[in-house]
Chains A and B, each alone.
Chain A
Amino acid sequence: MMRQAIEKNAKLLALFAIACTAVVGLVHLLTKDRIVEQEQLQLVNTLNSLIPPNKHNNAMTQSCFYISDELLGENSHKVYLATQDEQPVAAAITATAPDGYNGNIELLVAVNYDGSVSGVRVIKHQETPGLGDKVELRKNDWILSFSGKKILGEQDNRWAVAKDGGMFDQFTGATITPRAVVNAVKRTVNYFNLHKAQLFTHAATCQGE
């Protein structure tokens, strides 16, 4: 009796598990393409807002590869290249600021070939709502203050928040977050200046990701 009951219950459970998995699988199949499309669209939108689409004529999401360098933070990072008729225009590089107020801040930094910043966006962060989260474009336009800035020379003291004697404002009540972002952008631009020749000859390896 006992054994029968266990067998029956086990079969029922298995049946339900299969049915539920089937439903989830079906929904996954139906939405899969659209989710990829949405993520792709989001990426293209972000890239286009950083590097104006009229300045380059390649598909940036297709000319992408992975790199890793301690200047960009831990783990591997992505580079998206923008070229106009095969001539280098700019590159968008993901970077990690490890010293945010509340963990890592993930950035996408676009640098023009001449070394000036084309644009910066915060991709992911857990900074304090209302204080540190002003680095998001939809909360505050502070992040736009990077556009057009260049690093001059080895020791450019202007690349710091105003409190440290630099040219970037901090927020009232939040200095750590903007400081982390400014430093990460500075390191990324430095990396680009050091390696830009290699970057634009690198083969694309992460198509459409």
Chain B
Amino acid sequence: MNIPNEYKELAWQGLWKNNPGLVQLLGLCPLLAVTSTVVNALGLGLATMFVLICSNATVSAIQHWVPKEIRIPIFVLIIAAFVTCVQLLMNAFTYGLYESLGIFLPLIVTNCAIIGRAEAYASKNPVKQASFDGLMMGLGFLLVLVVLGAIREVLGQGTLFDGAQLLLGDWAANLRIEVMQLDNQFLLAILPPGAFIAMGFLIAAKNKIDDKIAQHQPKEQESQIERVRVNFDS
């Protein structure tokens, strides 16, 4: 029963406690630049997650053959190779999305979250755990991207899932939801400053929730201590 706990901890770290978007604040450039719509966010999030899983697995698989002096260039090589593959695949199979993500697709290479995970976790742990860590970290990043994309798309354009057919094929065109009718687009939400502000609110919300959790836990401990005292006194 040891293994599930280890995976649980990895999931908790990636999705919440050490979320690459909200806590480590890594990869802010793509995070803020492409999250103007949910679909863009989803596309980049999936691409990043794929690269993260593959690079973590590979880095973990080769850890015994790579001397530590040259590990960084090798990690960079591996990550760059995967990103190029993803770019080619998206160019071939999701052309519209490839167009709309533009320069941010090749820029996944510079997402420090990926090399950070390779260095901090994957290079010291077995392939299975490393891949799972990649999945969870990628998922955590993806979730932040999508939430941010949803906030900005609703505020900016009053829609959700606009352009879903670019990612998912023609059937997805009717996924588009008109949340509210806007006469004029709310420009601030679409432009990068809006992304910073929304990001700030997201981090604040996370900290608030963490505070709430932290407030609850000490109380339980205190009551235990009291009980012990009562027993002792009597």
Main secondary structure of the interface of B (DSSP, over half): helix
Interface bits B10-37 vs A (CB < 8 Å: 1, else 0): 0000000000000000000000000010
Chain A nearest Cβ from B67, distance in angstroms:
6
Main secondary structure of the interface of A (DSSP, over half): helix
Report whether A20 and B78 are in contact in the complex, using a CB–CB cutoff of 8 Å: yes
Q: Of B83-91, B118-126, B220-228, which binds chain A? A: B83-91
Partner of A28, one of B88, B163, B190: B88
Report whether B67 and A38 are in contact in the complex, using a CB–CB cutoff of 8 Å: no
A27 at the interface (CB under 8 A from B): yes
Report whether B36 and A129 are in contact in the complex, using a CB–CB cutoff of 8 Å: yes
A24 at the interface (CB under 8 A from B): yes
Report whether A35 and B91 are in contact in the complex, using a CB–CB cutoff of 8 Å: yes
Report whether B190 and A130 are in contact in the complex, using a CB–CB cutoff of 8 Å: yes
Count residues on chain B whose CB falls below 8 Å from chain A CBs. 27
Please measure, in the bound complex, the distance between the C-alpha atom of A20 and the C-alpha atom of B79, giving whole angstroms: 9
B213 at the interface (CB under 8 A from A): no
CB neighbours of B73 from chain A (8 A): 13
Report whether B190 and A16 are in contact in the complex, using a CB–CB cutoff of 8 Å: no
| Chain A residue at minimum C-beta to C-beta distance from B36 | A129
| Chain A residue at minimum C-beta to C-beta distance from B192 | A129
| Chain A residue at minimum C-beta to C-beta distance from B75 | A16
CB neighbours of A16 from chain B (8 A): 74, 77-78
Count residues on chain A whose CB falls below 8 Å from chain B CBs. 26
9 pairs of residues in contact across A and B, judged by CB atoms under 8 Å = A5-B67, A9-B70, A16-B78, A24-B85, A28-B88, A31-B88, A39-B95, A128-B187, A129-B36
Interface residues of B (CB under 8 A from A): 36, 65-67, 69-70, 73-74, 77-78, 80-81, 84-85, 88-89, 91-93, 95, 156, 163, 184-185, 187, 190-191
Interface residues of A (CB under 8 A from B): 5, 8-9, 12-13, 16-17, 20-21, 23-24, 27-28, 31, 34-35, 38-39, 41-42, 128-131, 138, 172
